[in-house]
Structure 1
């Protein structure tokens, strides 16, 4: 009987959903007209993806004037690390499809545009992965997504000694020439550390013993990792 391997990180569809749930900006090209949204654009999920945009935006106007089949559009989101690091872009999401005529939104001054999703791509870690539209709609954001920035900043600013201690779980070879360690990403499966070197950087994932159900469990799992790091340090000493 084939052995089931437990996942060690969110699926590509879950990563896309997490990015869309927390992104503060987006770029939209609708019917050839490009528009950058620094705020005020939100991706909503239900039976379909809907984009909430300002009612007076060019994107809303293009969708309103388009044919019944919708207007061709490309939607782009960039995921930035919340902590100061050399290369802050962690991932980029691109969704192509068609935008349909505006629908009323609960928020004043906003409208909702239904998106017929035709293609989804996630670029992260130097790799592009394609996500099926049905998988995107079925996925859910990682339970840590909305708390990730706050927790990473807390670790980086208030617990530097913990971050440096976590690096002891890595092999000596991976720590050669490392000058600084920064917490880069966090999800229910583990924490990712960025290892800074004079000539570049690399990233290392430290898995939790089991997936987190909510952000309140993070402290316990971090302490488990610290205990393992302490044990390894003393054993090697």
Structure 2
């Protein structure tokens, strides 16, 4: 009876290893880079959301980075088409991006103190958008108030971005673009929302999908925070 049990154990181990999420893109920053930057990003559909695991080279928020905290933007081209989304010109990697996910180390000043937190803003970029600022604000999240969508483990940030907008294009393939400060844009291609079985296997976000959409900006969200500092 030992041999079948050993065979089963090896089979389970192999299937677990195969399901491990793979990095979508990686970046090696110069040694003199001051701000925290993304050095490893894993992105993929998870249920009806886009899940992300972002590894920074330094603490992206808090007292450690003081006034030089993270201010990183990831672009998602959800249908891998330059005809939809952000329009920056032919040959520009960000052209075609449909979502912008901005990750910022933020500081909210109070009367006698300051509160630090990680802020995540999501904007949908329509076909006529010529900049991120022209995108529609879909969500304004932070790790203190939205743990079901923003989680932190040291220098690793886990995000769950709502992908249920009826106007968000989708296809079998999608692109992820990261343009580090002073460097060239880095791109990665991965299965999109329309891929068979998309989001049903590998789990990137540890907490799983949520039942409701992400909260939009409102009066209960931090309003006087200094982003990116």
TM-score scaled by length of structure 1:
0.28
More helix by share: 1
Larger radius of gyration between Structure 1 and Structure 2: 1
TM-score scaled by length of structure 2:
0.29
